[in-house]
Structure 1
Amino acid sequence: MEQAQDMNELLLEQVQKLPPLPKTVRDLKLYVEQEGSHLQINKVAEIIQGDPIVTAKLLQLANSPFYSFSRQITTIQQAVNLLGAVNVKNMIVADSLKGEKADVSAYGLNTDKFLSNCSAEVQFVSDWLSHEDKQLSYFLIPCAMLLRFGMIIFSNFLIENKKDKDFLRALKEHNFQNIDMVENDFLGVDHISFLGFLFYRWGFDESLIETICFINTPHAAENKIKKSAYALAITNHIFSPYDGGSVFKINVALNLIKEAKTQGVDFNIDNFTSKLPDFARNNLKQALEI
């Protein structure tokens, strides 16, 4: 326990070393937080347009398959009008953080495959939810973009502190199950809880932070975020790094959809199953028979 606490303190120091958010992102965050419901779209667009790189990245994201707009988005004002200022802010913050160098070998994972899986996870959120609740899709895409970010930070940290081999050995001893327990043993925190802390530190809106915090217990979330917590929990099981899409994980996701209905959150099961990635759909029939 003492070792985990010591590592946790070092991990917090590591967070301090992460590159600061770009000035445009900081200015946009500050404006959105200060103005709240009184913010002006023109002002949001003006802040973004002052930075050609952020402008280009936002237009690229807005025109990506994640959003699937029927027409091309050519101006920042269009993007803000369609997505909402808060979602645009979250998108820009999430994209600015994705540049962190990734090496997830401490988890025994292939980094290229891991990153490809992360992109597929974001696409799934878009494909699945855009047919049921576009606003929820817009809300969760930045969160999905960073859902595995804590693993990247942890792996880089473990490698730097020469603890990666011990960590991987512990994961193997547990057959790559109970990952949260191993993370807590080594670092004093699991990667999802750590992500919630990072979201708070980086000024994501409160609803997104709470969604992360209730990913493992969506039934306990407040009504205002219950749907987003269930959606993220379901996605988390489908794209679990080691056994995502397995019969067991699909069954857990299906049970979460059923549980959500008892909580007043109704997802279309046919839409959900039709949007599953191939690796998960291959196990769907068996999962439905359980």
Structure 2
Amino acid sequence: MNAAECALQVGDIFALPDTCLKIKEIIDDEISDIDEIAELVSYDPVLSSKLLRLANSALYNFPKQVESVQKAVQVLGETQVYNLVVASGAAEAFATLKPDVIALDKFWEHSINTALIAKHLAFHLGVKKDEPIYLSGLLHNLGELVVVQVKPEVAQICGQYKKGVKPWTKQQALLGFSYVDCTVELLKHWQLPERIIQPLKQLNQPEYSAANKVSLILHLSSCLALSEANPDVFQLHDLVDKQIMEVLGLSKDDLHDASSFAFLEGMSILSLLNPALFSIF
């Protein structure tokens, strides 16, 4: 079984809500306006609540209370609304996985940290704001949840980290593909934009060039989040070639700042994906 076949097995079981596709259609339609997005979101009370909480969070620090979905969409903009809809839909899609195989709270914590670190580094390095690096980072490891469903016994073995063995190398050896390979196939099945998927195709082994900046940032961010979550097993230098730091022009202080940003903002984002998870903090 290859990555595409693995993702196809769960593509219909773990599907994104119709709202995601409809909002994408609205955004892709050049003659549509933001009111259409607000109207669509307002039909979903849970999503509306999350949108309002995000608009009123410290992440945006809006000077006045945002009290309507329409105002929240205006404050956040199309991209942020789409990010929230897809992230919330992905979390909802996999919410029924058995907790004896994977701790979903830890999974999403790593995913959110990766996304926020990538977002901070992208800003620091002058990456264009329209690059969907945050969403790519947030979704990058969904392939793990696919494998948990299809091959739970293999997923458990892959989750037993060992010093000196990179996780994606172990996944490749046991499955014939890595989790991120499976993520790419799942996101294709979900019909997400190619701009979200493309940087993930080289996430584990990115080309060391300035032209490949987004994939390099995502690789570095994922490795940094992984090492911080498992300090007894991984140091960052065990996972990342220092040449990446040189190509990107980053210092240790830059990484520290990115990690601090992720720590400060991470719990609020985690609570938006699943409020029940927030009770663990």
TM-score by length of 2: 0.70
Aligned to 1:13: 9
Q: Contact 2:20 / 2:85 at 8 angstroms: preserved in 1?
A: yes
Contact 2:115 2:221 in 1 (8 A): no
**Which of the numbers 36, 44, 47 marks the counterpart of 2:37?**
44
User: In the alignment, is residue 68 of structure 1 matched against residue 60 of structure 2?
Assistant: yes
Q: What is the identity, as a one-letter code, of the residue corresponding to 1:141?
A: Y
Further displaced range: 113-122 or 189-198: 113-122
Preserved contact between residue 8 and residue 189 of structure 2 (Cα < 8 Å): no
Letter in 2 for 1:16: D
Letter in 2 for 1:96: G
| 220 and 202 in structure 1: CA distance in 2 versus 1, 3 angstrom threshold | farther
Q: Alpha-carbon deviations, 1:96-137, whole Å to 9, x = none?
A: 11121345765xx75544443334444444555566669649
For residues 139 and 174 of structure 1, the distance between their equivalents in structure 2, rounded to whole angstroms, comes to 32
* Structure 2: distance between partners of 1:145 and 1:207: 14
For structure 2, the residue ranges without an aligned partner over 5 or more in a row are 264-281
Rounded to whole Å, the distance in 1 between the matches of 2:134 and 2:8 is 26
Contact 2:118–2:134 (CA under 8 A) maintained in structure 1: yes
2:200 corresponds to which of 187, 193, 212: 212
CA contact under 8 A between 1:118 and 1:148: conserved in structure 2? yes
Q: Relative contact order, CA 8 A, sep 6+: which one is greater?
A: 2
Task: State the partner residue of 1:237.
Answer: 223
The 1:244–1:27 alpha-carbon spacing in structure 2 relative to 1, beyond 3 Å, is farther
Q: Which residue of 2 aligns with 1:258?
A: 246
Percent identical residues: 18
Deviations 1:145-195 (CA, angstroms, capped at 9, x unpaired): 323322122123222xxxx0x564577697672433443444443111111
Checking the alignment, whether the CA contact within 8 Å between 1:132 and 1:268 is kept in structure 2 is: no
CA contact (8 A) 1:104 1:111 kept: yes
Q: CA deviation at 1:58?
A: 2.0
Out of 267, 273, 276, the position equivalent to 2:256 is 273
Pick from 189, 200, 205: which aligns with 1:201?
189
The match for 1:155 among 148, 151, 172 is 148
Provide the rounded CA distance (Å) in 2 between the counterparts of 1:81 and 1:203: 25
Aligned length: 257
Question: Could you tell me which residue of structure 2 aligns to residue 177 of structure 1?
Answer: 165
Matched residue type, 2:195? S
Output the CA distance in 2 between the equivalents of 1:125 and 1:112: 20
For each residue in 1:194-245, what CA deviation from the matched residue of structure 2 results, as whole angstroms up to 9, or x when unmatched? 112222222322211112223234447894xx44323212111102277569
TM-score (norm 1): 0.68
Structure 1 pair 251/189, CA: closer, same or farther in 2 (3 Å)? closer
2:89 to 86, 89, 96: 96
Distance in 2, Cα, partners of 1:97 & 1:140: 16
- Alpha-carbon distance change, 41 to 183 in structure 1, aligned in 2, over 3 angstroms: same
Counterpart CA distance in 2 for 1:59 and 1:206 is 28
Aligned mates of 2:135, 2:146 — CA distance in 1: 17
Please state whether the residue corresponding to 1:239 is helix, strand or coil.
Answer: helix
Q: Return closer, same or farther for 1:199/1:244 CA change in 2, 3 Å cut-off.
A: farther
Counterpart check, 1:228 vs 2:228: no
Where does structure 1 lack aligned partners over 5 or more consecutive residues? 262-266, 281-290
Quick check: 1:31 aligned with 2:19? no
User: Structure 2: which amino acid aligns with 1:44?
Assistant: I
In the alignment, residue 11 of structure 2 is paired with which amino acid?
Answer: V
Contact in 1 for aligned 2:4/2:182 (Cα 8 Å): no
> 1:30, 1:196 → 2: CA distance?
21
